[in-house]
Amino acid sequence: MTVKFGDLALQYRALKAEMDAAIFRVLERGQFILGGEVEAFEKEFSAYCGTRHGVGVASGTEALYLSLLAAGVKPGDEVITAPNTAVPTASAITMAGAKPVFADVLEEDFNINPEKIAAAATKKTKAIIPVHLYGQTADMKPVLEVAERLGLSVVEDACQAHGAEYERKKAGSFGDFGCFSFYPSKNLGAYGDAGFVATSDPAQHEKLLMLRNYGQKKRYYHEIKGVNGRLDEIQAAILRVKLKHLDEWNAKRIRIAGIYAKNLCNAVTLPATIPGRKHVYHIYAARTRNNAERDALKKFLEERGVQTLIHYPIPIHLQEAYADLRRSEGDYPVAEGCARTELSLPIYPELSDEQTESVWNKVNEFF
Ligand SMILES: Cc1ncc(COP(=O)(O)O)c(C=O)c1O
């Protein structure tokens, strides 16, 4: 039995009638940029997140970038984040002209270690981007405390955490800005690039609406310098159909994670759900005991038809593109350990029980 890492066509087929109707509704209406679908989705998804406002944008990267601009981050400033994230977290910081500064993460949840933030801060630090990696939030209470103490804006990178919770509050509702990606394979995914910023601050909401649309509120009257960072009507219509299924899909992911946890042999370190948090398993990040074992397991599974991925093989401070930051191996040992030993097993709502069994069986067979 082959098990793909993801299969987006399965989800489309299950929703085909409703999805086709939503897409054709936009085509028939003939308004493709900033219309009723985007506006409705902004209300629906911000209500889902528990924020007062939300702004549909072009991607998760754009959500982070525009949030940093709205927070007043300027060239020469510094922004603290985790080194073991998708590269766009750092791209957004450099797009704003700022410098990414890293704080190492915790072994138990792979997320930023709140105790390392203060030591990474300088006079130039303006913001913190806690990343809710793999679908579990960072430890937000101490992150917010240190941000408050140091006077820093908090831009949550919730790009992998649609519906995740921390003390019963949704990811994206803690910081000044909650940034989401709707990259197709996300727990809530569009059929192209799309993103979102959730905020409860009315002034920041207004600013984001302008920033994403050439800095204008009224057409051709540009109050600030902005960009084209808009979500489009077709993607918004698609996301409105899918949002209704998000909780049910997350529940399926959580169920599959439970099956893995029950059956995987104890040579594998399972991803832990920290008490008080709801992990929505965007990624099922298992860990092996060392790098050679991880690579051998990946190869073993591949040869037997099970696709896996590594999130992420090289932490950002060791990427060639970020050599100018002058960081080296050993600077963030926990994040580097994750990069050496992490292996992501398939997890998505359409994964059948037989496929799930085939995955854990083959992992156990390897050991
Ligand atoms: C943690 C994280 N941050 C940022 C992004 C960027 O999102 P996008 O690909 O929509 O620009 C992603 C997704 O790719 C992500 O996983």
pLDDT in tens, 180-209: 999 999 999 999 999 999 999 999 999 999
Q: In this predicted structure, what is the pLDDT of residue 350? A: 98
Query: Best mutation site among 95, 111, 159 for ligand 1, i.e. most ligand atoms within 8 A of its Cβ?
Result: 159
Domain with CATH 3.40.640.10 in the chain: 8-103+110-243
Superfamily of domain 246-366: Aspartate Aminotransferase, domain 1 (3.90.1150.10)
For the residues 285-306, what does the mean pLDDT come to? 98
Query: Best mutation site among 131, 181, 281, 311 for ligand 1, i.e. most ligand atoms within 8 A of its Cβ?
Result: 181
Q: Under DSSP, is residue 186 helix (H, G, I), strand (E, B) or coil?
A: coil
Give the pLDDT band (50/70/90) at residue 1: confident
Query: How many Å lie between the centroid of ligand 1 and the Cα of residue 220?
Result: 31
Q: Under DSSP, is residue 73 helix (H, G, I), strand (E, B) or coil?
A: coil
* Class of 8-103+110-243 in CATH: alpha beta
Q: How far apart are CA 159 and CA 223, in angstroms?
A: 29
Domain with CATH 3.90.1150.10 in the chain: 246-366
Q: How far apart are CA 342 and CA 151, in angstroms?
A: 34
Between helices 233-243 and 36-49, what is the axis angle to 10°? Answer: 40
* DSSP assignment string, 34-45: SSHHHHHHHHHH
Query: How many Å lie between the centroid of ligand 1 and the Cα of residue 267?
Result: 31
Give the pLDDT band (50/70/90) at residue 297: very high
pLDDT in tens, 39-73: 999 999 999 999 999 999 999 999 999 999 999 99
Query: How many Å lie between the centroid of ligand 1 and the Cα of residue 95?
Result: 14
Give percent above pLDDT 70 in the chain: 100
Q: In this predicted structure, what is the pLDDT of residue 366? A: 98
Q: In this predicted structure, what is the pLDDT of residue 319? A: 98
Among 109, 131, 107, 104, residue whose Cα is nearest residue 331: 104
Q: In this predicted structure, what is the pLDDT of residue 223? A: 97
Give the pLDDT band (50/70/90) at residue 240: very high
Query: How many Å lie between the centroid of ligand 1 and the Cα of residue 218?
Result: 30
For the residues 150-170, what does the mean pLDDT come to? 98
Q: Inform me whether the pLDDT recorded for 317 exceeds 90.
A: yes
Query: How many Å lie between the centroid of ligand 1 and the Cα of residue 365?
Result: 34
Query: How many Å lie between the centroid of ligand 1 and the Cα of residue 199?
Result: 18
Nearest CA to ligand 1 atom 8: 60
Query: Best mutation site among 68, 160, 280, 338 for ligand 1, i.e. most ligand atoms within 8 A of its Cβ?
Result: 160
Q: Inform me whether the pLDDT recorded for 29 exceeds 90.
A: yes
Residue 257: exposure state from Cβ atoms within 10 A (0-12, 13-18, ≥19): buried
Name the E strands within the chain.
53-57, 78-81, 99-102, 125-129, 153-157, 165-166, 169-170, 177-181, 195-199, 216-218, 221-222, 277-278, 284-287, 342-345
Q: In this predicted structure, what is the pLDDT of residue 46? A: 98
Q: What average pLDDT does the structure give for the chain?
A: 98
Q: In this predicted structure, what is the pLDDT of residue 160? A: 98
**Residues with a CB atom less than 6 Å from ligand 1:** 59-61, 85-86, 88-89, 131, 157, 159-160, 181, 183, 193, 195
Q: In this predicted structure, what is the pLDDT of residue 221? A: 96
Query: How many Å lie between the centroid of ligand 1 and the Cα of residue 286?
Result: 21
Sign of the alpha-carbon torsion through 154, 155, 161, 164: positive
Query: How many Å lie between the centroid of ligand 1 and the Cα of residue 88?
Result: 6
Q: Inform me whether the pLDDT recorded for 158 exceeds 90.
A: yes
Query: Best mutation site among 183, 191, 231, 312 for ligand 1, i.e. most ligand atoms within 8 A of its Cβ?
Result: 183
For the residues 86-114, what does the mean pLDDT come to? 98
